[in-house]
Amino acid sequence: MTALLLCAGILLLALWALPRLYDRFWDKGLDCKISFTQDYAVEDEDSALLEVITNDKLLPLPALEISFHMDRRLQFGAGENASLSDQTYRRDVFAAAMRQKITRTLDFNCAGRGYFRINEAGLAAQDLFLTRKYVGSRPQNTEFYVLPRPVPTGQIQIPYSKIMGAVLSRKRVCDDPFEFGGLREYSRGDPMKYINWKATARAGRLLTNLHESTLSQQVVIAIDMEGGGLQGDFLTEAGVRAACSLAERLLAEGVELSLYSNGGDVRTGGDWKLEGVSGAGSTLFLKKKLACLGLGTGLPPVCGFLPQGLGPDGLLVLVSRSQRAEVAEAFSQAVGQGRGVRVVPCGAEHGELPQFSRIDTVWMEF
């Protein structure tokens, strides 16, 4: 009888001690890393998210739940393991045995432009008999850009021609010191700073750098991010795509750009603006910046964000779905003595806008 009581005591002690061990050590050596496999992708493309769980201890975790918030514009499968509200709350279950590393790849579709960041992942582990639940979190640091989808060439051609027509009419070509175009032999009068000394040493004669030219005129693009309703949001997003495609082509032509918007920067939380961008190499930077452009309702008028004193050589492009008269008037005032092109993303049918002498209006149907 004594032996039986002793054995029963040992069993009870073991059953009592095991949960205490988990209380104390459940998160020892436990790590969770969430990271996007790419830095960026374009709208409608697929990408993937990596979840890596490390359990570096002798206690196995039969059910370990990892949860994190993610914007609903990143769509995982058919809404699998996610509850939807204004954000997606995603929950994945892992089973981590002792000293194991588990890597799971989750494919998702980039359904909308944006900047996405995961700051924290929640952990909920259960003990060996699934009786107790332990909750914790791990900081994360991963970000992802969904760049605006390019607008088809045929659709962008008309506004692009209008803008380029206005630009070329005031064309003054300058060298762009940041755009390397090739080498040529030194000739008297070339600035000393353009001599390529390495190439000179290799060739045995003086060689100077050739630079691509840039158009001296600066183009300012203003993007109105006032949303509202399904159609409003869709057209505003279409406007961002149009602005992105226009900017990309203008940069490729060597035009220096400045962009302003009334939508905030979702990455920094401040105002969104991009000043003095030039060169085709800046395209990715520009697109990433556009990915951070926030959409909203009740935003202040976009023309209030434009710089003062646009000269007679200035060209201002407004991309706005708004057809209100006050927007047109504010834009006319902002253009002043310069030139303006107004790009209006719209549906199949659209009304008439008040005409101003120095402003061209282009309708873009989406």
Could you list the residues that contact other proteins (CB under 8 A)? 1, 3-4, 6-8, 10-11, 14-15, 28-29, 31, 54, 56, 60, 62-63, 77, 80-81, 91-95, 97-106, 126, 128-131, 136-137, 139
Which of 43, 92 has the CB closer to other proteins? 92
Work out the number of other CB atoms within 10 angstroms of the CB of residue 316. 27
DSSP secondary structure code for residue 137 in this structure: E
Which is nearer to other proteins, 13 or 252 (by Cβ)? 13
* Burial of 268: CB neighbours in 10 Å, binned 0-12, 13-18, 19+: exposed
Paired residues of 36 in beta bridges: 49
Strands 207-223 and 46-55 come out as unpaired
CB closer to other proteins out of 103 and 337: 103
DSSP string, 160-187: HHHHHHHHHTT--EEEEEEEEEEEEE--
Looking at the chain, how many residues does it have?
366
| Min dist. Cβ of residue 114 to other proteins (A) | 24
128 vs 266 by CB, closer to other proteins: 128
Question: What whole-number distance in Å separates Cα of residue 205 and Cα of residue 165?
Answer: 42
* Coil, strand or helix at 76: strand
Question: Are 316 and 361 a contacting pair, CB within 8 Å?
Answer: no
CA distance 360 to 110: 34
Identity of the residue, 80 or 271, whose beta carbon is nearer to other proteins in the bound complex: 80
Residue 321, judged by CB atoms within 10 A of its CB (0-12, 13-18, 19+), counts as: buried
Q: Tell me how far, at minimum, the Cβ of 28 lies from other proteins, in Å.
A: 8
Helices (H) and strands (E) in the chain, counts: 6, 17
Q: Between residues 42 and 128, which has the closer beta carbon with respect to other proteins?
A: 128
Q: How far is CA 166 from the centre of its chain?
A: 30
Nearer to other proteins, 44 or 107 (CB): 107
Smaller CB separation from other proteins, 64 or 335: 64
Is 343 within 8 Å of 317 (Cβ atoms)?
A: yes
In single-letter form, the type of residue at position 111 comes to A
Nearer to other proteins, 8 or 252 (CB): 8
The tokens describing 62, both together, are 């039969």
